[in-house]
Structure 1
Amino acid sequence: MSTPETVTESVDPTLERPVVTIDSGQVRGIWREGSAAFLGVPFAEAPVGPLRFEAPVPVAPWDGVRDAAELGPTPQRKQLAEITLIPEPSIPGDSTLNVNVYTPSPGAPDAALPVLVYIHGGGYTAGSPASPWYDGRAFNRDGVVTVSISYRLGFDGFGYIEGAPSNRGVRDWLLALDWVQRNVAAFGGDPARVTIAGQSAGGGAVLTLLGMPAAQHLFRSVWCLSGAVADVTEARARTFAETLARLAGVEATRDGFASLPETRVLELQDAATNPDDLDPMAGVAAMLQDGLPWGPMIDGDLITRPTLDSLRSGVGGDKPLVLGATDDEFTMATDAQKNKLRFVPASLVLGRLLTDRDRRKAYLAANRPQRRKGTAAMLGRFMTDSMFRAPIVRVAEARAAHPTWVYRFSWASPKLGWAAHCLDVPFWFDCLDAEKVDFIAGDNPPQALASELHGAAVSLVLEGAPGWRAWSDAPGATRVFGGGVRAPSVLADGYAEVRALV
């Protein structure tokens, strides 16, 4: 029997804190403005020691009442400080596989409220569920139980190890969702009405799960924000593992990798996938062509084929899907090069990334307004389109007649100058007053826009549709959030600019 970090034998009624009984024991949460939070509740044993490279093991029952008043340890041991715009703290500790549950009806199984499960992003190597932006207050206000989950990251979660279970991070998602099925009723949720959602790598995660036959019983609908699907090939994953082992001076075996402290793996995993002699443009080209180096792997077991092929075959076709992206996910990053690129033609820069001349001409012609903003802006838009926006069209087309809605987030932050990566997240969660939102959205972000986007999310969770015409009914139909007062809210072909890349 595992021992909780804090155990009491009886509930102190003077604390007036909610206590819920789940299949592993009792947990005591905290009240906050009419809803309750149960933080850091473990769904699996700590993935350390002999369990480090194993599939997640369901947490053993405990005696007494486990305190759930503080966020639990996070798998994240470093932050992507140079590119992330979301405050996602790293919390030390071993019991990193945990969930946070936010609910307006703790201990009321008859409430049967719909459930939202959120998977954080971070390129599959960083990020954590501990962000104040992922707090479920607004969804609780709208009658939705909200759960944020953690999962192993980087090499520990996704690296290839001979003799170890593949896709350990994916298996963490599956066990967390299974935990929700078994326990969310105790928090007032309905396990038959679960929506999964995520942003960036988390968006890729929910698309991966949507395309997995083994996951179909775990959720009812999906919302994908700026999804980055990995679909790493086994051969590529083997190469990265061998390179990491060579850099560490160990055998590329389970024992060899187990001899490395997690801190050493973190030092080396970037070097294993980014050769020092690769010039910046070649690095960009490699990322756009090959995708992310760490993430779900096509292992022939848990994941048998690329996600797009799976969706095209009809897997997940009965589940409503909403997906979209910001207009300029990467343009803020390329802005740093705008002086260097000022006099370099966009066609010349893109020539190294989009080698097919006819496609390049068609793409540039379709993006004349962006091209007029300069070569750096055009490069940022191309990277955005290649990584996020063109895949949206591919997924929507692969789903054919299955219920699919597409949107764009077009509001440009006055602080950043663009509709940048992560900007939509506090609007989606309707938490514009949360910590550091002003850093990304300025001092007075439009609440009306948050109400629109968050309202659409609530509509999907409650009713199975977000409230505008589906792409599956009218191919190309795209809801535009924040496009301006005079702009139409729904475009007939909102992703026309990326057609040359599809």
Structure 2
Amino acid sequence: MTVSATRQGPVRGRTSRDGVTSFLGIPYAAPPFGTLRFREPAPPEPWTGTRDATAHGPTAPHAPYAPPFDVLIPENDIAGEDCLNLNIWTPAPGPGARLPVMVWLHGGAFTNGSGSASAYDGGAFARDGVVCVTLNYRLGADGFLRLPGRPDNRGLLDQIAALRWVRENIAGFGGDPDLVTVFGESAGAMSIGALLTTDAARGLFRRAILQSGACHHFLRPKSAELTAARLAEKLGIEPTAEAFAAVPLPELLPAQAELRAEVNARPDPARWGEAALNMMPFEPIGPGLALPGPECGVDLLIGSNREEYRLFLVPTGRLDVLPESKLRAVTAAYGLDPAEALPVYRAGRPGATPGELLDAVATDWFYRVPAIRLAESVPGSYLYEFAWRSPRFDGALGACHALELPFVFDRLQDPSYGPLLGAHPPQALADAMHGAWVSFAKTGSPGWRAYDRTTRTTMTFAAGPDAGPVGDPRARERLLWEGVR
């Protein structure tokens, strides 16, 4: 057992045979319930004696993923109110080492996920000389529902509180508080996109890695109010903090999940606002698109997967049955002229079905184009695309959303990734991708040329001859989105 100090008191972790010490379930804020429900995160209470930190703490309340995603996406659920906690993996517990720090923000559409899933074990980062931190933040209504008299974006406030805790305490675990990289995927990356323009987060991290998410996913206040009104209607209550606090979690959490299903089944902008396109009724709330610009002061590594949207089309069976009329309607809803845009996408994919074309268009709208816009806004940023295709679902799953995660964390053998990865994923690709993330955290460079509007250098992570940097991939498709997204 190993003991390290925090401002709240000492914690006891466990050291593995490979020399990595883990400290699990350390509270960075008080339990967000009772009088603290739907409020800013409050500081954690100090403790007497040495706190055991050898087991994960409670996760933020959430409903399980609906099938088939419940078996495809890593998830865990640990009951308890003390859910605002974090986990640390370090090769050098104790002050003095001053190692780079990486803080992970998990995905899950702002309604699911946790920092304690085995999929996010930070041991490989610690093995390679980085102090890795993962954390929980409030989800769904508790984290992102707009409520009168309560702060918006409570989940983001939790993330900021965790980053402050890291700044104040990580030196005791061998980390350098001035060399923090925050990294996240999907909702975690979208959170970082919001943090980049949030004054309260300024100075809390030096670098950021955004995987499959950037700055374009948010709800304007009026859209967020539509979500709150509909959730209150489903529960038969007034849309107030007091009324929602009185609803037992076993009733609130399923209602949240049903709400997202309603958005997917009936994506009417008059009913949902921006959520009709984002398909997420719980998101960061803001007045409009905010890109950080050259004055950002944060080194950025940004990217997406080549076939992100297949995760939502293939396991559900929609890829093969989607009609041309639906493809044209969605393309138009995204702001493109189907008559102009679809021939361009078809030219790059001879013989593609409407479902396969929808994957390409939706992947660009949700993930690739927002990544490009962020890279364009902050000179010196690095851009990547993950292109390795999973053999699952007879190869149709492709380079889908979340598939890069086991490569980033170098955890190809974690059973929770098996349903996405299939058999025999390439370890060499994990070595390359995980190594690039470590290099970026240590030096500010992942190992290829920065993105600019002339060369548009994009690193392709793939197996075999397709791997390596390329200039302006799929340029004609990118140009379709100029002035649109």
- Note whether the superposition's TM-score is higher than 0.5: yes
Q: Distance in 2 between matches of 1:120 and 1:276?
A: 23
Contact 1:213 1:315 in 2 (8 A): no
Deviation at 1:254, TM superposition (A): 2.1
Match of 2:2 among 8, 15, 18: 18
Q: Distance in 1 between matches of 2:250 and 2:279?
A: 25
Q: Distance in 2 between matches of 1:359 and 1:393?
A: 22
SS at match of 1:101: strand
Deviation at 1:382, TM superposition (A): 1.8
Task: Name 1:486's counterpart in structure 2.
Answer: 465
Aligned: 1:413 with 2:401? no
Q: Distance in 2 between matches of 1:255 and 1:281?
A: 29
Which residues in structure 2 correspond to 1:302-341 (within 5 Å)? 305-306=287-288, 308-312=289-293, 314-316=294-296, 318-335=297-314, 336-341=317-322
Task: Name 1:171's counterpart in structure 2.
Answer: 157
Deviation at 1:280, TM superposition (A): 7.5
Match of 1:289 among 277, 289, 292: 277
Task: Name 1:136's counterpart in structure 2.
Answer: 122
Q: Distance in 1 between matches of 2:196 and 2:12?
A: 33
Q: CA 1:390–1:86 in structure 2 vs 1: closer, same or farther (change >3 Å)?
A: same
SS at match of 1:218: coil
Contact 2:436 2:447 in 1 (8 A): yes
Contact 1:79 1:127 in 2 (8 A): no
Deviation at 1:216, TM superposition (A): 1.6
Gaps of 5+ in 2: none
SS at match of 2:26: strand
Task: Name 1:354's counterpart in structure 2.
Answer: 331
Contact 2:12 2:53 in 1 (8 A): yes
Deviation at 1:488, TM superposition (A): 5.7
Aligned: 1:74 with 2:59? yes
Task: Name 1:374's counterpart in structure 2.
Answer: 353
Task: Name 2:431's counterpart in structure 1.
Answer: 451
SS at match of 1:337: coil
Contact 1:371 1:378 in 2 (8 A): no
Q: Distance in 2 between matches of 1:284 and 1:166?
A: 18
Match of 2:377 among 374, 395, 398: 398
Which residues in structure 2 correspond to 1:192-203 (within 5 Å)? 192-203=178-189
Gaps of 5+ in 1: 1-16, 299-304
Q: CA 1:277–1:479 in structure 2 vs 1: closer, same or farther (change >3 Å)?
A: closer
Deviation at 1:164, TM superposition (A): 1.4
Which residues in structure 2 correspond to 1:33-44 (within 5 Å)? 33-44=18-29
Contact 2:237 2:243 in 1 (8 A): yes
Contact 2:267 2:279 in 1 (8 A): no
Aligned amino acid, residue 372 of structure 1: G
Contact 1:389 1:495 in 2 (8 A): no
Aligned amino acid, residue 376 of structure 2: E
Contact 1:88 1:129 in 2 (8 A): no
Aligned: 1:248 with 2:235? yes
Q: Distance in 2 between matches of 1:270 and 1:228?
A: 24
Q: Distance in 1 between matches of 2:23 and 2:300?
A: 28
Deviation at 1:211, TM superposition (A): 2.0
SS at match of 1:452: helix
Task: Name 1:219's counterpart in structure 2.
Answer: 205
Deviation at 1:48, TM superposition (A): 1.1
Aligned amino acid, residue 307 of structure 2: D
Deviation at 1:290, TM superposition (A): 5.0
Contact 2:125 2:438 in 1 (8 A): yes
Q: Distance in 2 between matches of 1:239 and 1:411?
A: 39
Aligned: 1:464 with 2:408? no
String of CA shifts for 1:30-80, please: whole Å, max 9, x gaps.
111211000000011111111111111110111001100101100043222
Deviation at 1:477, TM superposition (A): 1.0
Q: Distance in 2 between matches of 1:79 and 1:275?
A: 16
SS at match of 1:436: helix
Match of 2:249 among 262, 269, 275: 262
Q: Distance in 2 between matches of 1:377 and 1:41?
A: 44
Task: Name 2:88's counterpart in structure 1.
Answer: 101
Task: Name 1:6's counterpart in structure 2.
Answer: none
Deviation at 1:474, TM superposition (A): 4.3
SS at match of 2:21: strand
Deviation at 1:102, TM superposition (A): 0.5
Q: Distance in 1 between matches of 2:93 and 2:264?
A: 55
Task: Name 1:385's counterpart in structure 2.
Answer: 364
Q: Give the % identical residues.
A: 37
Contact 1:43 1:179 in 2 (8 A): yes
Deviation at 1:427, TM superposition (A): 0.2
Q: Distance in 2 between matches of 1:499 and 1:414?
A: 31
Task: Name 1:31's counterpart in structure 2.
Answer: 15
Q: Distance in 1 between matches of 2:97 and 2:277?
A: 48
Deviation at 1:491, TM superposition (A): 1.1
Q: Distance in 1 between matches of 2:238 and 2:199?
A: 35
Contact 2:263 2:279 in 1 (8 A): no
Match of 2:49 among 59, 64, 69: 64
SS at match of 2:435: helix
Deviation at 1:495, TM superposition (A): 4.7
Q: Distance in 2 between matches of 1:38 and 1:476?
A: 41
Q: CA 1:34–1:337 in structure 2 vs 1: closer, same or farther (change >3 Å)?
A: same
SS at match of 1:115: strand
String of CA shifts for 1:164-214, please: whole Å, max 9, x gaps.
122111110010000000000000000000000000101111111112222
Q: CA 1:470–1:48 in structure 2 vs 1: closer, same or farther (change >3 Å)?
A: same
Task: Name 1:10's counterpart in structure 2.
Answer: none
Deviation at 1:469, TM superposition (A): 0.8
Q: Distance in 2 between matches of 1:420 and 1:284?
A: 26
TM-score of the pair, normalised by structure 2: 0.91
SS at match of 1:406: strand
Q: CA 1:443–1:411 in structure 2 vs 1: closer, same or farther (change >3 Å)?
A: same
Aligned amino acid, residue 374 of structure 1: T
Q: Which segment is superposed worse, 189-198 or 278-287?
A: 278-287
Match of 2:38 among 38, 53, 56: 53
Q: Distance in 1 between matches of 2:306 and 2:466?
A: 15
Q: Distance in 2 between matches of 1:195 and 1:180?
A: 11
Deviation at 1:369, TM superposition (A): 3.7
